[in-house]
Structure 1
């Protein structure tokens, strides 16, 4: 994927992208954003496109796989998802992405989505509220999870949520989900945000005994930092459809206990969640220095998660050799 370095006007029609997999959406979004206007919020040079809508027709095709141009930390994608769904802002997440520490205040990520979703102002489990709302009124337009909190987020802490909230609409037996982002870092953030959100989408559909509908990702400012532009230009012009992950539907009752066991890397007797637990357990081996065991462990993880883990370890090994050289 190449760019002339000159701004090319982006038409309104260009800003709606639709695909069957995150891999295809990401490829299209890179091409779009490379044509964006140059802006410099907080002095950081970026290319930006305003008011972008991404539609994912197959929400289980949620794992970006586009080596060698973009290699995802699959373990972090899993870990962040479990961290959010469990309502946590605990420091265990740094094991899977130590770079998050730079956004923490006194060791805590003040904008963590989990506590806001599961314990809004220490009182309200918004997931439970959405589930109750749609069970009582399937046509409701009030099934909303709010994440941005102006009372907190105007106070100047380092971590301000990019996601404003989630909405769910149950229509004709299909559950559709929409996410609104005030800001979206295309290269670093989008693949992880869509992974976590579509897991929530699938879970909510299962709790409502509904079919999985379309996932809509609305972005006010989709942007690419100058530091990532050269890497983005190496992304191919098109991509094949990424594979769908295993089904993750489980009952609402006992869900938090399941998350606790998955976070600890323990099997739970569900093929999809056991795969995610294995990814977390294996990455802890890597971080603990037993890298041969981690690679061997990844070789036994089935499906796209296992492939993603193996690709990530290969990427880390390449980076280590480059630094050593």
Structure 2
């Protein structure tokens, strides 16, 4: 069991890499070699420092971080997410990621007595905590045995989220059965802390600590060397601007951001999200100068993160094997 606390996602990431490399044991699920720690509790004290950035060893694609977060928050399992991460296609069945979190978060289907029911779990916990500030029932469930034992390629790693208002602050706990530290953690913590911050805003409370509980925290063998190299990097601690939107306007704003229609008046962070997606779409279309210009014009830390990602991609485009 490891317990780690840090003030930024980057610091938490490097501390976790070190802990897994030092304390982990070999496990080979599905014949894939990993170094694994069973039982990890990672605490982020400032959830707005959600961007993992440890150059040059670990530079993430901020456009995918933003896109995945919006994809989940909007309740979607639509294939547009593949535009930001082609590797996800390998986990799809019939072109659909069957373990997509969005529909489970915003459109959980089931039966209540003799009636079919669709539940927006995000709204449910919002209303629960409005009604009872000390509630212990603000739970979002993502793992669904009725779907996840059917042999699909994509099975959720996240079991669920829990929220508590204590001392005027919203504290969030995430439980995961499995966490790929190198590839998954940087993107998962971006989404979960964004959910936490939005919910805190809807409830009119301060943003508290974020807790990430993992049963199997692991590094795949092909990422172990890079994880070791990340320990020599300088972890970034950039803090994103506050993100807020009234609950009644939330879904409309999400669609505007995803569609590229967001405006600066919608708030600096939402505007930055829209610019980030637009920049990456330009990059994918081969419009490199336009992509970099949009990145430079993106408000806040996502600007530098995009530029770093494009610098990371450029050697491969030039034939450099790095």
Give the TM-score range, shorter chain.
over 0.9
Tell me how far 1:236 sits from its aligned partner.
2.3
Tell me how far 1:42 sits from its aligned partner.
0.5
Pair 1:273-2:270 in alignment:
yes
Pair 1:49-2:49 in alignment:
no
Cα distance in 2 for partners of 1:17, 1:25 equals: 7
Tell me how far 1:300 sits from its aligned partner.
1.2
Pair 1:294-2:291 in alignment:
yes
Deviations 1:91-119 (A, max 9, x none): 10000001000000000000000000000
Deviations 1:40-59 (A, max 9, x none): 01100000001100000000
Q: Is the 8 A contact 2:37 2:218 kept in 1?
A: yes
Tell me how far 1:156 sits from its aligned partner.
0.3
Pair 1:259-2:280 in alignment:
no
Secondary structure in 2 aligned to 1:229? helix
Question: Which shifted more, 268-277 or 207-216?
Answer: 268-277
Secondary structure in 2 aligned to 1:297? helix
Which has the larger strand fraction? 2
Specify which of 11, 15, 18 is matched with residue 31 of structure 1: 18
Q: Is the 8 A contact 1:279 1:298 kept in 2?
A: yes
Question: Which shifted more, 312-321 or 272-281?
Answer: 312-321
Cα distance in 2 for partners of 1:255, 1:240 equals: 32
Deviations 1:89-146 (A, max 9, x none): 0010000001000000000000000000000016000011001100001101000000
Alignment of 1:160-309 (within 5 A): 160-237=155-232, 239-240=234-235, 242-268=237-263, 269=265, 270-309=267-306
Secondary structure in 1 aligned to 2:118? coil
Q: Is the 8 A contact 2:93 2:153 kept in 1?
A: yes
Tell me how far 1:323 sits from its aligned partner.
4.9
Pair 1:129-2:124 in alignment:
yes
Q: Structure 1 residues 167 and 324 mapped into 2: Cα distance closer, same or farther (>3 Å)? A: closer
Tell me how far 1:233 sits from its aligned partner.
1.6
Cα distance in 1 for partners of 2:159, 2:4 equals: 20
Secondary structure in 2 aligned to 1:234? helix
Cα distance in 2 for partners of 1:243, 1:288 equals: 29
Residue ranges of structure 2 left out of the alignment (5+ in a row): 110-116
Cα distance in 1 for partners of 2:131, 2:211 equals: 24
Cα distance in 2 for partners of 1:119, 1:139 equals: 26
Cα distance in 2 for partners of 1:279, 1:158 equals: 29
Paired residue total: 312
Secondary structure in 2 aligned to 1:34? helix
**TM-score under structure 2 length normalisation:** 0.94
Q: Is the 8 A contact 1:18 1:55 kept in 2?
A: yes
Aligned to 1:110: 98
Question: Which shifted more, 272-281 or 289-298?
Answer: 289-298
Cα distance in 2 for partners of 1:187, 1:137 equals: 38
**TM-score under structure 1 length normalisation:** 0.94
Tell me how far 1:241 sits from its aligned partner.
5.3
Specify which of 308, 311, 316 is matched with residue 311 of structure 1: 308
Aligned to 1:92: 80
Tell me how far 1:243 sits from its aligned partner.
1.4
Tell me how far 1:205 sits from its aligned partner.
0.2
Tell me how far 1:87 sits from its aligned partner.
0.2
Cα distance in 2 for partners of 1:233, 1:137 equals: 45
4+ residue segments displaced more than 3 Å: 237-241, 322-325
Tell me how far 1:320 sits from its aligned partner.
1.6
